[in-house]
Amino acid sequence: MDEPLIPAPLVFRDDGTPYSPRHDDIYHSAAGALAQARHVFLDGNGLPARWRVKRRFIVLETGFGMGINFLATWAAWRDDPHCTSALEFVSIEKHPFSADDLRAAHAAIIDDTAVAPLADALASAWPPLEAGVHRLAFVPGAVTLTLAFGAADDLLPRLADHGLTADAIYLDGFAPARNPDMWTPAIFASLARIAKDDATFATYTSSGHVKRALIDNGFDYRKVAGFGGKRAMLVGKRAHSRSVIDS
Ligand SMILES: C[S@@+](CC[C@H](N)C(=O)[O-])C[C@H]1O[C@@H](n2cnc3c(N)ncnc32)[C@H](O)[C@@H]1O
């Protein structure tokens, strides 16, 4: 039986950046939430170019938060004239916001009027705060969001058992030093089960612990320029096909 969820409180630092008292960390860089999503997660995974050669493109995210990465991805997909794929976004969140707090967060941090209607659609479709999997369809047959409410270490193996595969992985679970639960060996082992042969990943962090876990689980990484004055972040891909790992 799934444990009852504890929702996240909506708290801002003095500079307006959303902050988690539970993890003593910020949800996004003070330099801009959408700009961070585009630099770290879209550019970091070679998007939009990579979805142009697929009929179905699946993103897996650890840590849905306010859904900024989802909204930036959906907006890029909507605005891509060469897009031929359906977008499936799967994200895990242990402490979701209430629908009202999600709306308030979006009102405070979304600085792009072209994204605002998507944020409104997300808040209107927001599921009840009950543990488990919630499937939301936005553009019928073309954009779906699967929200898995609960702890990543519990849900990732279950999603892998159900056959989830991913083309791109967004690792966004607060800083590893402040939230080690999102960066355990078991989490990386599940990600290795889920990543397709040509899967890529991107993450804001460049911690040594994460680099070692990536290598241990069959991913190659590169250090590239970070966002908002941060020197480095990590991007990468599977080092070997799944058949090599499985054999
Ligand atoms: C940096 S925020 C994510 C920001 C988000 N991707 C966005 O675009 O708004 C990290 C998120 O991970 C969630 N989280 C932390 N530990 C978790 C865990 N063990 N399992 C699942 N989610 C977790 C937090 O509640 C938080 O919402």
CATH number for the domain spanning 133: value is: 3.40.50.150
pLDDT at 244: 57
Which residues' Cβ are closer than 6 Å to ligand 1?
A: 8, 27, 61, 63-69, 92-95, 151-152, 172-174, 179, 181-182
Q: How many domains does the chain have?
A: 1
Which residues neighbour 94 within 8 Å (Cβ) at sequence distance 6 or greater?
5, 149, 150, 151, 152
Which single residue is written with the structure tokens 């070679």? 46
In the reported structure, the alpha carbon of residue 52 is separated from the centroid of ligand 1 by a whole-number distance in angstroms of 28
Tell me whether residue 3 is in a domain. no
In the reported structure, the alpha carbon of residue 48 is separated from the centroid of ligand 1 by a whole-number distance in angstroms of 24
pLDDT at 160: 98
Helices and strands in the chain: count of H runs, count of E runs: 8, 11
pLDDT at 241: 78
Tell me whether residue 23 is in a domain. yes
Tell me whether residue 133 is in a domain. yes
Element (H, E) at 200: strand 195-203
How much is the pTM?
A: 0.97
DSSP letters, 165-198, are: -EEEEEE-SS-TTT-GGGG-HHHHHHHHHHEEEE
Tell me whether residue 2 is in a domain. no
Query: What are 195-221's pLDDT values in tens digits?
Result: 999 999 999 999 999 999 999 999 999
Tell me whether residue 6 is in a domain. no
Tell me whether residue 218 is in a domain. yes
Q: Both ends of the chain: CA-CA distance in Å?
A: 34
| Whole-number Å distance between alpha carbons of 185 and 198 | 21
Tell me whether residue 4 is in a domain. no
Q: What is the mean pLDDT of each run of 10 residues along the chain (247 residues)?
A: 87 97 97 97 98 96 98 98 94 98 97 97 98 94 96 98 98 97 97 97 97 97 96 95 61
In the reported structure, the alpha carbon of residue 247 is separated from the centroid of ligand 1 by a whole-number distance in angstroms of 33
Tell me whether residue 36 is in a domain. yes
What's the domain range around 76?
A: 11-246
